Amino acid sequence: MNARTPTETRSPRMEPLARLPVFLSLQGRRAVVAGGTPGAAWKAELLSAAGAAVDVYAREPSDELLAVAGDAPGGTITVHRRDWQAADLDGAAIAIAACENDSQAEHFATTARACGVPVNVIDKPKFCDFAFGAIVNRSPLVIGISTDGAAPVFGQAIRAKLEAMIPRGFARWADAARRWRHAVQTSGLSFNGRRRFWQLFTAMAARNPDYEPEQVDYIRLLTETEAEGSIVEKGSVVLVGAGPGDPELMTLRAVRALQSADIILYDDLVSVEVLDFARREAKKMLVGKTGYGPSCKQGEINALMVSLAKAGKRVVRLKGGDPMIFGRAGEEIAACRDAGIAVEVVPGITAAQGAASRLGISLTHRSEARRLQYVTGHAADGRLPRDVDWRSLADPSATTAVYMPVKTLAELSATAIAEGLDPATPAVAVLRATRADQVTIAASIAELPARLSSADVSGPVIVFIGRVFGEIASRDVMQTAPARTHSPGVRP
C-alpha cells in the first residue's frame, strides 16, 4: 500500500452571487417612500419595523397606507399628501418608489442616485440598486431569501419551509445572545472559552427552543464553561460519522460539530457535499484512508490529531458511515485518551443502513432473517481476514453486510460456498450508497464477484448476502440510479 501524507484542502471559492445579502441598520434613520399603493404601504411597514423614520410622499394614499401609518410597527410613518421632490431625498438612508411606468422609475432612480441614496423601484428590477427578499422574522434572528426576482413564488415556498423548521422561540434566544454578548466579551474567558460558551448556549437553545432564557441561565452557562478550565484550552477531538454519502442523512449533532470545528481531518470516502456543511473558516485536511489506495498511516493520523488538539484546536475526525463500524475509531479514541485530550463520538448512519433504506429492503425481515452481521472484507494487510466465521457466513437465516469487499470478494465467495453457503444465495453490491450516482448490482453470491469486477468501481462499496435480497437478485440487472420510494416533490 502506498504511503500518503496529510494534505490541506483549500475551501472552495465563493460561487458567484446574483445579489449580495446585506442587513442594513435603519434604526432612527430617515427613509423615503414615493407612492401610495398597497405595495408602497408594505414597504413603508417593513422600513418602520426596521426602526426607520419613514416619510411617504403620495398625492392619493391608499387605505392600506393610511392604516399602516396609523399603527406603525416601529419607527414613525409620516404621510405627505403631495408628489415627491428631489429635495425630499437629501439625507435619506434608503429610497423606495412605486412608479406607474419606466419613465417615472428612471427619473426617481436617477435622482436618488445623484443624492447618494440606494434605490428600489417596486416591481421594476432594472432600476433597483437592491432587492427585497422573502423574510423569516425571529428578530433579532432574521433570514432573508432572494431568487434575484426570478421566482418569487419559489422564494416564498422556501420561506414557508424555514418558518416551519425554525421555532418562534429562537427569537428569545437571539435576544438573550444580544443582551449577554458584552458580558461574555468582558467575562475574562479566553477566545476558546468564549467560543465554548456560545456552543453551550446554542446546544441549550436547540434543546429548549420555546424556553425564555433568564439571567440565571447565563450564570449557569458561564459557570459550566469556567468549570471546563484547561480542557477548553487544550482543544478537543470529535469523531464524526458523515453517513454513507447523502448529506441529508447526517445527524444534527454532526452538523453542529462541523460548524464549530477549527480543523477537519477527513477521508477520501467522505462526499464533497458533506464538507459543504463545515464552517467556512475551518481548515480541511485530507488524510486519505481509502482502502487499497494511497493512505496515510494510522499512527500519523493519530499523532496529527493529538498535536492539533494540544495546540488548542477543536478537531473533527470525519469518517464515512459510522466511525464505530470498521472505522478504526478505537485506536483514535485510545490515542486521545493517552494524551489527555477530550474526545467524543458522534455516530452516523452506516453504509449498510443507508444502502438498505434506498433499496427498500429490511435487513432483518422476520420471515427471512434472524441475525444481522457486519463483516470486513479485508484485514490490516489488505487480504481476506483469516478468522472469518465461515459457519456463521453460511447460515441461511443470516443477513451479512460485507464492508470493503472489492479486492477479496471472489475469494470470500468461493470460500464461503466451500464452507456451506448456498451458491444461489442472493447478493447485492451497492456502489456509492445513497449518493446521486448510486449503482446497484444484483446476482447470486456465486456470480456477483464477476459482475462487480467488470463494473467501473469507484467510491465506497458494500456487499449484502442473504435471502432478504431475493427479489432484487432475481431481476439479474444492474441499476444505475438510486431507488426512490416517492416522486420528487411528493412526500411519502
**pLDDT tens, residue by residue, 128-149:** 999 888 899 999 999 999 888 7
Same domain, 256 and 363: no
Domain boundary, last residue among 196, 217, 232 = 232
Same domain, 97 and 197: no
Q: Indicate the number of domains in the chain.
A: 5
> Residue 54 is part of a domain; what is its CATH number?
3.40.50.720
Report whether 473 contacts 428 (CB < 8 A).
yes
Residues with Cβ within 8 Å of residue 171, at least 6 apart in sequence: 137, 138, 139, 140, 141
What is residue 294's predicted lDDT score, i.e. its pLDDT? 58
CA pair distance 26, 247, nearest whole angstrom: 38
Same domain, 444 and 370: yes
- Show the domain range for 142: 137-166
Same domain, 77 and 176: no
pTM above 0.85, yes or no: no
Same domain, 436 and 342: no
- Specify the pairing of strand 94-97 against strand 119-121: parallel
> Residue 141 is part of a domain; what is its CATH number?
3.30.160
Domain boundary, last residue among 166, 182, 215 = 166
> Residue 282 is part of a domain; what is its CATH number?
3.40.1010.10
- Residue 22 placed within a domain: no
Instruction: List the single range of 39-48, 52-61, 174-183, 295-304 with lowest mean pLDDT.
Output: 295-304
What is residue 171's predicted lDDT score, i.e. its pLDDT? 94
pLDDT tens readout for residues 162-189: 898 899 999 999 999 999 999 999 999 9
> Residue 468 is part of a domain; what is its CATH number?
3.30.950.10
Active centre residues (catalytic): 267, 289
Report whether 114 contacts 58 (CB < 8 A).
no
Same domain, 344 and 409: no
Burial state string for 457-471 with b = 16 or more CB within 10 A and e = fewer than 16: eebbbbbbbbbbbee
Same domain, 269 and 155: no
- Residue 142 placed within a domain: yes
Q: Cell numbers of 145, please?
A: 431569501
Q: Cell numbers of 22, please?
A: 446585506
- Residue 97 placed within a domain: yes
- N-terminal to C-terminal alpha carbon distance within the chain: 46
- In the three-class reduction of DSSP (H, G, I as helix; E, B as strand; rest coil), residue 148 is classed as coil
For the chain, how are helix, strand and coil distributed in percent, rounded to 5? 35, 20, 45
Domain boundary, last residue among 212, 232, 252 = 232
Report whether 217 contacts 204 (CB < 8 A).
yes
Same domain, 374 and 326: no
- Say whether pLDDT at 421 is over 70: yes
Give helix then strand counts, H and E, for the chain: 17, 19
Band of the pLDDT at 2, cuts 50, 70, 90? low
Strand partners, 266: 286, 318
Band of the pLDDT at 477, cuts 50, 70, 90? low
CA pair distance 311, 314, nearest whole angstrom: 9
124-127 long-range contacts (CB < 8 A, ≥24 apart) are 124/99, 125/149, 127/102
- Residue 484 placed within a domain: no
- Residue 199 placed within a domain: yes
- Residue 24 placed within a domain: no
Same domain, 75 and 123: yes
Same domain, 294 and 400: no
Residues with Cβ within 8 Å of residue 87, at least 6 apart in sequence: none
Strand partners, 55: 32, 78
What is residue 152's predicted lDDT score, i.e. its pLDDT? 81
Look-up of cell digits 426512490: 484
- Residue 3 placed within a domain: no
Report whether 4 contacts 296 (CB < 8 A).
yes
- Residue 14 placed within a domain: no
Instruction: Extract the runs of DSSP E, i.e. beta strands, from 23-146.
Output: 30-34, 53-57, 77-80, 94-97, 119-121, 134-138, 141-145
What is residue 293's predicted lDDT score, i.e. its pLDDT? 55
Residues with Cβ within 8 Å of residue 144, at least 6 apart in sequence: 21, 23, 133, 134, 135
What is residue 12's predicted lDDT score, i.e. its pLDDT? 65
The mean of the pLDDT values for the chain is: 88
Same domain, 399 and 358: yes
What is residue 481's predicted lDDT score, i.e. its pLDDT? 47
Report whether 377 contacts 405 (CB < 8 A).
yes
**Higher pLDDT residue, 446 or 287?**
446
Amino acid letter at 312?
Answer: G
Residues with Cβ within 8 Å of residue 372, at least 6 apart in sequence: 363, 364, 398, 399, 401
- Say whether pLDDT at 10 is over 80: no
pLDDT tens readout for residues 223-242: 999 988 776 777 889 999 99
Same domain, 221 and 241: no
Report whether 241 contacts 347 (CB < 8 A).
yes
- Say whether pLDDT at 482 is over 60: no
Share of the chain above pLDDT 90, in %: 63
